[in-house]
Structure 1
Amino acid sequence: MLEIRNLNVSYGSIHAVRNLSLEVKQGEVVTLIGSNGAGKTTTVNAICGVIPSKCSILYQGKDIIGQPTHKLVEAGIVMVAEGRRIFPKLTVEQNLHMGTYSRKAGKGELKQEMDAIYAMFPRLAERRAQLGGTMSGGEQQMLAIGRALMAKPKLLILDEPSMGLAPIVVKGIFETIKTIKRQGLTILLIEQNAAMALSVADRGYVLEHGEISHHDTAENLRSQDVVKQAYLGH
């Protein structure tokens, strides 16, 4: 579904990402793990057209370099950005409706989809009239994921969904990712929390100083000494 060939991104004289290549097959959960500053978010922003890059990015076999971000959303690439980026002065329900701006769907269909999001996140159902900016970080992350799902993505990109959240909340977010995975949605998961990311992913890439240092199945990465020492606390 997604193939990146030799991605390079520079900020002035700083070469932030070097010759990065990865692929995500339909129905997979693929994780890109690495420490803070490794180049993970830069990679995501290049995929989504937010920053210019030098490479080939193929989505469903077509090169998408140079496509504006809103066109990529219409094509099915939807990102949950780092820091959640909900609309703080809109209610929960209004935020969810914002996820549908690029779609044409009837009221009945949208209500059915909204009900499915509320079933996945009962906390959002309880707070549907509450302003997004008054919610906790975990609730805002649920809202950001729900809004992305309302866009009917074919490829869902999650950028650091665990950042700044309490461990018990992180566990709940990753249970949600497992649920979405079982529904067959293709996911690219960007994470600092390698242990949680590798627990839900099929395959993983390790990004260090802007370059891919390791690539394998999630199970094999969990067993590699260098990954365990650097990212899994062993």
Structure 2
Amino acid sequence: MLQIKNLNVSYGSIHAVRNLSLEVQEGEAVALIGANGAGKTTTVNAISGTIPSKGSIIYQGKELNGLAAHKVVKEGIVMVPEGRRIFPKLSVVNNLIMGAYARKTSKKELQQEIEKIFVLFPRLAERRSQMAGTLSGGEQQMLAVGRAMMAKPKLLILDEPSMGLAPIVVKSIFSTINRIKQEGLTILLIEQNATMALSVADRGYVLENGEIRFHDTAKNLREQDVVKKAYLG
């Protein structure tokens, strides 16, 4: 579904991503893990078209590099950004509606899709009329994922979904990610929490200083001593 070949991103004299290549097959969950500053978010920003890059980003046979970010969304790639970036002064429901802005859908269909999100995240149903800015960090992350799901993505990119959340909330978020995966949605998961990321992923890439150091099945990565020592505690 997604093939990245020799991706390079620079910020002035800083070469943030170097000759990165990875692929995501339809229906699988792939984790891109690494320490803070390794280049993970830069990589997904390049995929989503929000920063310029060199190299090839092929999605379903189409070259995306150079495509505007809103057109990348229309191709079916939707990202839940680091830091969530919900609309704090809009209600939970209106945030979800904003997720479907690029699609043509009837009011009835829209309502049905919102109810599906509430099934996925019952806590959001309880707070449907609440201003998003008053939600807890975990609830805001649920809302960010729900809003992305409203866009009917073919490829869902999750950028650091565990950031700043309590361990019990992280466990809940990843349980939901696993449910979404089981429904067949293709996922690219960007995470500093390697243990949780590899628990739901089929395959993983380890990024260090902008370069892929390791690539294997999630199971094999969890068992590699060098990965365990550096990322799994």
- With the shorter chain as reference, the TM-score category is over 0.9
SS in 1 for 2:147: helix
- Whole-angstrom CA distance in 2 between matches of 1:94 and 1:21: 38
- Whole-angstrom CA distance in 2 between matches of 1:35 and 1:65: 26
1:150 corresponds to which residue? 150
Count of aligned residue pairs for this structure pair: 233
1:174 corresponds to which residue? 174
C-alpha displacement at 1:112, in angstroms? 1.1
- Whole-angstrom CA distance in 1 between matches of 2:216 and 2:61: 23
Segments of 4+ moved more than 4 angstroms: none
Deviations 1:117-164 (A, max 9, x none): 001111100101111111110000000000000000000000000000
SS in 1 for 2:89: coil
1:72 corresponds to which residue? 72
- Whole-angstrom CA distance in 2 between matches of 1:173 and 1:183: 16
2:103 is aligned with what amino acid? R
> What is the 5 A alignment of 1:37-116?
37-116=37-116
2:123 is aligned with what amino acid? R
1:194 is aligned with what amino acid? A
- Whole-angstrom CA distance in 2 between matches of 1:54 and 1:74: 22
- Whole-angstrom CA distance in 2 between matches of 1:18 and 1:75: 26
1:187 corresponds to which residue? 187
C-alpha displacement at 1:174, in angstroms? 0.2
- Whole-angstrom CA distance in 2 between matches of 1:87 and 1:106: 23
1:165 is aligned with what amino acid? L
| Alignment pair present for 1:9 and 2:1 | no
> Structure 2 stretches of 5 or more lacking a match?
none
TM-score by length of 1: 0.99
- Whole-angstrom CA distance in 1 between matches of 2:79 and 2:102: 14
Q: Percent identity?
A: 76
TM-score by length of 2: 0.99
Deviations 1:18-45 (A, max 9, x none): 0000000000000000000000000010
> Structure 1 stretches of 5 or more lacking a match?
none
C-alpha displacement at 1:108, in angstroms? 1.6
